[in-house]
Amino acid sequence: MRRMSSAPIIMPASLMPDLAHLKGVRVIAAMSGGVDSSVMAALLRDAGADVIGVFLNVWDYSREDVNRHGSCCALEDSYDARRVADHLGIPFYAMDMRDTFRRDVIDPFVADYENGRTPNPCERCNRFVKFGALLEAVDQLEARYVATGHYVQRRDDEAGMHILKGEDAGKDQSYFLATTRRKQAERILFPVGHLQKNATRELARYYQLPTAEKHESQDICFIPAGDRIAFLKREGASAGFREGDIVDVDGNVLGRHQGIAHYTLGQRKGLGLPNGPWHVMALDGVTARVVVAHPEEAMIQQVRVGDISWLRTPAEGEYLSAKLRYQMRPAACQLNEVGDGMLQLSFEQPQKPTAPGQVAALYIGNELIAGGIVIAAR
């Protein structure tokens, strides 16, 4: 369906990705109810793909006393995804992934905060739910690919598949795909990765999508109001709320705290300590200690990474860089194997501290080549 008005919107050819190879190919469109995945589904349909829309129900929002409209994967978003599918004239299914999400995202999230780690739930959701359990379901629907609304680009050539940063540097989401297995990535498409965010909105209006003006949420999807502490307490993370000491790097006690779950590595606000500024540089789940340091002492230069996923191996002499946080600019580093399937990243310049449980994403230029989970940093 196209916009019919006295002044129709003309879609520039530059906004259309080259999807001609998907004509007649069955593709599962992972629809979150947001504008990005809605446009993704529309582009696939226009390319002649055999598109099936799928929404993943991952959390029981009836237990939350808040308005979830406009967030990720809530009940209202399921309605929006279905409205878009109806508008585009494609089949639509909602899949119950709550047990998988509980096992692979929620339970590890709670355990990490009890043990002094800072988890990345979006990474785990991508790896285990969207690109894990969903790909298994895709086989039942006899589809070749899953497509998402991530701002990531894929390029295939004689050397194989390459995953590149999104064209919109401010929206690039390749960091969250860093731990995706290669066999998973080979079956994933990113039809909006070549777009700027404003162009995605333009296309949504062109297609007259019900989600064209929908706002985005920055909340973690299962923590509706952003109240992580209330969520952890409700989930029974008692070990994360044991009182303990706040100490400096020499072990001198500077104050007391109400539980390590209140803190994240690198945190500098809300510490309430004299002679600052201070940064949190370690959280000890055994002793319930929060270790702080002055900014110059908190910087790190080496990071140990485990659970490595390789999209491709670097060739000798290729220039490597890494991101330890989503908003971080990739920094030059060297890579060394340290045994037990772990790598050590050595940065050329000191970096702000990162937390065990966070993602380390490796790049060669704009290409994502690998990723893993931070074990330790110093």
User: Which residue in the block uniquely carries the two structure tokens 């502490």?
Assistant: 229
The secondary structure of the chain, three-state, reads: CCCCCCCCCCCCHHHCCCCHHHCCCEEEEECCCCHHHHHHHHHHHHCCCEEEEEEEECCCHHHCCCCCCCCCCCHHHHHHHHHHHHHHCCCEEEEECHHHHHHHHHHHHHHHHHCCCCCCHHHHHHHHHHHHHHHHHHHHCCCCEEECCCCEEEEEECCEEEEEECCCCCCCCHHHHCCCCHHHHCCEECCCCCCCHHHHHHHHHHCCCCCCCCCCCCCCCCCCCCCHHHHHHHCCCHHHHCCEEEECCCCCEEEEECCHHHCCCCCCCCCCCCCCCCEEEEEECCCCEEEEECHHHHCEEEEEEEEEEECCCCCCCCCCEEECCCCCCCEEEEEEEEECCEEEEEEEEEECCCCCCCEEEEEECCEEEEEEEEEEEC
Among residues 72, 73, 122, 125, which one is catalytic? Answer: 125
Whether residue 72 lies in the annotated active site: no
Q: Is 333 a catalytic residue?
A: no
Catalytic residue among 73, 122, 221, 333: 221
Catalytic residues: 125, 221
